Amino acid sequence: MRLSNGFDASASALTAQRLRMDVISSNIANAETTRGKVVNGQFEPYARKLTVMEQIRPSFADTLKREIDGGSKSQGGVKVSQIMEDRTPPKLVYNPSHPDADAEGYVKLPNVDILKEMVDMISATRSYEANVTALNATKAMFTKALEIGK
């Protein structure tokens, strides 16, 4: 086991949470975008994006190679495996004066709920802060270990 495994795990988590915050920010910025993409010649509203995270699990062969090479690669952490679209249907709002209203006067708005996005942003921020704290604790342990040798 390498001494820097704590750094590796915290660094991967910080990167994943930063990407999660970027996706949430994009959702908030596009909460009113009625022309997110073109499908079959028709405009569709922006679709909410979600991050899917998974644990980094090296295979047995990777673990064996790492140990033979002297532990040169990271042993774990977390990564964003994909960014997917939320399949919730768009919200229909009656606004016949809107340029994107259909024949009945309804406008398709994105399936983005600002309240959900803010809760997700707070969660991502807290996770980021927790990983910074873990990184600082690992750094403090290294510092104390080096002081023992003096």
The residue extents of the domains of the chain are: 5-143
CB-count exposure of residue 75 (10 Å: 0-12, 13-18, 19+) = middle
- Taking residues 17-29, report their average pLDDT: 96
Cα 29 from Cα 19, distance rounded (Å): 15
What is the total residue count of the chain?
Answer: 150
Per residue in 40-62, pLDDT tens?
A: 888 899 999 999 999 887 777 87
Predicted confidence (pLDDT) at residue 121 exceeds the cutoff of 90: yes
Per residue in 54-108, pLDDT tens?
A: 988 777 787 777 778 776 555 678 999 999 999 999 999 999 999 999 999 999 9
pTM: 0.82
